[in-house]
Structure 1
Amino acid sequence: MIGRIGALALAGVSALAFATGAQAGAFGLREQSSQAQGLSFAGAASGSGGISSMFWNPAVITMRPGWVTEQNLTYIGLHADIRPTAATNPGFLPLGESGDIGQGAIVPAGATSYQLSDKIWIGLQTGAPFGLITNPNKAWAGEVYGRSSRIFSLAFNPVIAYKVNDWLSIAAGPNIEYFKLTLRQAFPIAGLPTGAFPSAFLKGDAWGVGYTAGATITPWDGTVLGLGYRSSVHHDIEGSAFGVGQVKANLNTPEKLSVGLTQAINPVTRINLGFEWDNWSRLDDIAITSKVLGLPVASLPLNFKDGYTYSIGAEYDWSPSLTVRGGFSYEEVPIDDQNRSVRLPDNDRYTASIGASYRWSEKLTLNAAYSHIFLDKSNIFAGAGRNYNVGNIAFAGVVDASADIVSVGFRYVFGAPAAPLPAPIVRKF
């Protein structure tokens, strides 16, 4: 009985993330820079997102002399409807569709860098590297596989960067993450009608520490190649679950490898290319253990694949004060018909973006961007013999999803470095 209740309460742990819509494959979040957003994050690892690009590659902070801060706010409007099909358990099928499970949310992110000398910079990036919130109708055909997912997460990433010479910079630093989660889904009880079941729940939180590292290479004027790495972070989640009491689980987030290329075509035009690999395949089966019994009470079979993102974008300096940009990306997400859940009904993504920067003064630059994410319709299968199974209750559905993202931000330069350096060659904003 404990094992069954644990499985019910914990079947949605695949939703571990920040309290917003996940927009970087599975439950990852990429919304760390308004400037890079306008390029669909092409060239983010080579500095296309300003110092906020330190999320992908901390070495980019050496591209900005002096004391610089960037602050970003991003609104993610996720839209997803799950329509049950005839293969759903007939006792639940009449409960109907999920309604729009997406929840609009605002994601803050910030980055600050300070030049200590002509060779050394320090920086701090804050934001949310993972994220998800879904909230279907309380009574719907897939309620035993998910009612709500609400998780808060925040990461702090202090770094130190060293400019080795005119063409090479390197950087590294710890990545400190915290998240807190509450997940709910229907718990079937004999004698109660479907739609009137109470909610099983899982609550827990954890701290974890990893690291980031990166390098930028400028082989000649007008070209920047960036390479960045974010390590996996180990989280010992502790909390409570409905019918089980105190539980714990180990979760290792995926590593991220980012490659970016920025190439100046002429003094006012730049092309950006990007590639990201996320090692989601390290998330396979996650054991849920009772702290009282010291024994596993459930297993979460995520069975993710690796994720890959390819992006291209361009910038044009319309005037000394205005830069416009646009980009497109394609992302192979780690989720398919074999491991898709009602909490995370993801599919491969096509993203189109536009953006602009306005230089208000020598110190202040304003950024804005808009992106639309297109997803093909996808299928969900749960029940006996499937990746997700609660009490052999069959659920089959069709997902129709998309997302609209609006981001605004600013950059403020407080002052010049102690020893003046030449202005960056590739970027004006």
Structure 2
Amino acid sequence: MFAFQGIHRVFKRISIASMIGLGAFSTGPAMAGGLITYEVGTAEVGLGSAGYSARAQDASTVFTNPAGMTRLEGTQYVGAGQVLWGNTQFSIDSGTAPGLGDVDGGHAVGSDGWFPGGGGFLSYSVSPALKLGFALTGNFGAPLNYDDDWAGRYYVQETTLLGMSFLPSIAYRVTDKLSLGAGVNAMYGSYENQVAINNLLPAFGDGQLKIDDTEWGWGVNLGLLYEITAGSRIGLTWNSQVDLDFDAPAEFSNLAPGLNTLLNRRGMLNANIDVGIKVPQQLMGSIFTQVNDRWAALGSVGWQQWSKFGQVQIGIDNVLNPTSITTDLDFKDTWHAALGAQYRLSEPWLLNFGIAYDSEFQGGSDVSPLLPVNSAWRFGVGTEHQASATFSWGVAAEYLYGGTLDVNLESEAPVALGGRGDLVGTYDDTGTVFLALYGNWKF
């Protein structure tokens, strides 16, 4: 009877925490080494992700390493929210086809550069050795919204690729030093892509192609935590690939009559587009060590398999001879490294700071305007305050620097002859500022 009541209470708390998490939650754009971000409004923002799989100091470990729940007592809940502003604005170069105009597209990320994020994380103690957890957050995707008449409109106008994860998890302390954890990643994915179509005849203006789909994907998160000493530990995590099999019909609108007829004859007008997104598997190894009463050092290394991502670019290269409405984009695997520290300012105050680097996932210096991200540096700082025995809160900020990204797309035909037109330019000094606020409750 006691066990049944305990399970009933944890599911009730999970339901409440989920609703709170939904209020704070929204996936945000990932601006580094791919489209998976470490920032979900928690202390990781201030640490630059250092110690990601080994920190295990609050219930957010349900997400970063489920094995870390064995270090938590009782029931704990972290509610986290964040806002970001991204500087992702295209600068048109002289190599861009004159027929594309001179509109730069504006700040492409979110709403004029702004986007919210966050999540909710709950850990429950069934016994000192057995823990249950639940997390609701999103760390995958990139929402972009260019001006409809920008110079790159025939390559992309608007795209949304977001994943929201529901993560029931379990952890067990095998020995005094070793803990193992596992979670199911139920990801709800949303995909939308919109691009202008060159109607060739100015009287008709631009046509439009849009695809829109939602899909569930499933994966597994596995974690290990080994406590070398009372103040030092290492964490290892593996997140499996999640397949988001987006498959939606091509929705054309405002096409010139001749182009409409030609696309219909070639079976492209109502064709289904298989986007084939795969959220890549990833490995992360982290370390945490309490150097003395005031200082702790943290570090992480990681790998993500972006070569399996599978994103496509939609559109028509030449409306006089349309042969396809998709173009495959190639990506490569990425590496991650982070170093950080915690400093105890006083009994209630803790300072976090860290730095991290993610390698590029698009080859060379050129990127697609569909994904204006590549390698990046992170610089984070934050502070936490222990307000009482049962409540603490923290604030954190991070600057992510993505450098200058080049775009050099060559069209099959000039704009005047039905092509997309050459698009040449740069995203200068790309960067994102994250601001996070979180609370940690113990019951």
- Is the TM value for this pair above 0.5? yes
Query: 2:44 aligned with 1:36, yes or no?
Result: yes
**Structure 2 equivalent of residue 170 of structure 1:** 180
**Structure 1 equivalent of residue 356 of structure 2:** 329
Provide, for residues 19-63 of structure 1, a one-character-per-residue CA deviation record: whole Å limited to 9, x for no partner: 532234322222235212111010010025632133232111111
**Structure 1 equivalent of residue 308 of structure 2:** 282
Q: 1:261 deviation in Å?
A: 0.3
**Structure 1 equivalent of residue 397 of structure 2:** 370
- Over 3 Å counting, the alpha-carbon distance change for 1:49 and 1:150 in structure 2 is farther
Q: How much identity, in percent, do the aligned residues show?
A: 22
- Once residues 262 and 97 of structure 1 are traced to their aligned partners in structure 2, the CA distance between those partners, rounded to angstroms, is 45
Check the 8 A contact 1:32/1:110 in 2, yes or no.
no
- Over 3 Å counting, the alpha-carbon distance change for 1:50 and 1:25 in structure 2 is farther
Among 85, 90, 93, the alignment partner of 1:77 is 85
Q: How does 1:263-302 map to 2 (within 5 A)?
A: 263-284=289-310, 298-302=325-329
Question: Helix, strand or coil for the counterpart of 1:59?
Answer: helix
**Structure 2 equivalent of residue 197 of structure 1:** 206
- Once residues 242 and 165 of structure 2 are traced to their aligned partners in structure 1, the CA distance between those partners, rounded to angstroms, is 11
Among 436, 439, 443, the alignment partner of 1:407 is 436
Check the 8 A contact 2:27/2:139 in 1, yes or no.
no
Q: How does 1:12-411 map to 2 (within 5 A)?
A: 20-47=28-55, 50-92=58-100, 94-103=101-110, 104-192=114-202, 196-243=205-252, 244-245=269-270, 246-284=272-310, 298-337=325-364, 340-384=367-411, 391=419, 393-400=421-428, 401-411=430-440
Aligned residues: 384
Q: Which amino acid aligns with 2:228?
A: P
Check the 8 A contact 1:101/1:135 in 2, yes or no.
yes
Check the 8 A contact 2:136/2:166 in 1, yes or no.
yes
Structure 1 range deviating more: 314-323 or 299-308: 299-308
Structure 1 range deviating more: 59-68 or 341-350: 341-350
Q: 1:218 deviation in Å?
A: 0.7
Provide, for residues 238-289 of structure 1, a one-character-per-residue CA deviation record: whole Å limited to 9, x for no partner: 333224435444322100111110011102210000112111011257699x
Check the 8 A contact 1:33/1:52 in 2, yes or no.
no
Question: Helix, strand or coil for the counterpart of 1:74?
Answer: strand
Q: 1:96 deviation in Å?
A: 3.3
- Over 3 Å counting, the alpha-carbon distance change for 1:29 and 1:171 in structure 2 is same
Structure 1 range deviating more: 129-138 or 119-128: 129-138
- Over 3 Å counting, the alpha-carbon distance change for 1:187 and 1:150 in structure 2 is same
Q: Which TM-score applies when normalising by structure 2?
A: 0.82
Q: 1:317 deviation in Å?
A: 1.3
Check the 8 A contact 1:338/1:381 in 2, yes or no.
no
- Once residues 125 and 436 of structure 2 are traced to their aligned partners in structure 1, the CA distance between those partners, rounded to angstroms, is 27
Q: 1:361 deviation in Å?
A: 0.8
Q: Which amino acid aligns with 1:197?
A: D
Structure 1 range deviating more: 298-307 or 204-213: 298-307
Question: Helix, strand or coil for the counterpart of 1:347?
Answer: coil
Q: 1:338 deviation in Å?
A: 6.6
Q: Which amino acid aligns with 1:144?
A: Y
Question: Helix, strand or coil for the counterpart of 1:161?
Answer: strand
Provide, for residues 107-159 of structure 1, a one-character-per-residue CA deviation record: whole Å limited to 9, x for no partner: 12121111111211111111113121111222111111111123443111111
Structure 1 range deviating more: 335-344 or 254-263: 335-344
Check the 8 A contact 1:33/1:49 in 2, yes or no.
no
- Once residues 70 and 188 of structure 2 are traced to their aligned partners in structure 1, the CA distance between those partners, rounded to angstroms, is 28
Check the 8 A contact 1:35/1:48 in 2, yes or no.
no
Question: Helix, strand or coil for the counterpart of 1:106?
Answer: strand
- Over 3 Å counting, the alpha-carbon distance change for 1:375 and 1:242 in structure 2 is same
- Once residues 121 and 290 of structure 2 are traced to their aligned partners in structure 1, the CA distance between those partners, rounded to angstroms, is 25
Check the 8 A contact 1:24/1:30 in 2, yes or no.
no
5+ residue gaps, structure 2, are 1-25, 253-268, 315-322, 413-417
- Over 3 Å counting, the alpha-carbon distance change for 1:173 and 1:375 in structure 2 is closer
Provide, for residues 64-121 of structure 1, a one-character-per-residue CA deviation record: whole Å limited to 9, x for no partner: 11111111111121111111212222211x3332222122111121211111112111
Q: Which amino acid aligns with 1:370?
A: A
5+ residue gaps, structure 1, are 1-17, 289-295, 415-429
**Structure 2 equivalent of residue 293 of structure 1:** none
Check the 8 A contact 2:32/2:374 in 1, yes or no.
no
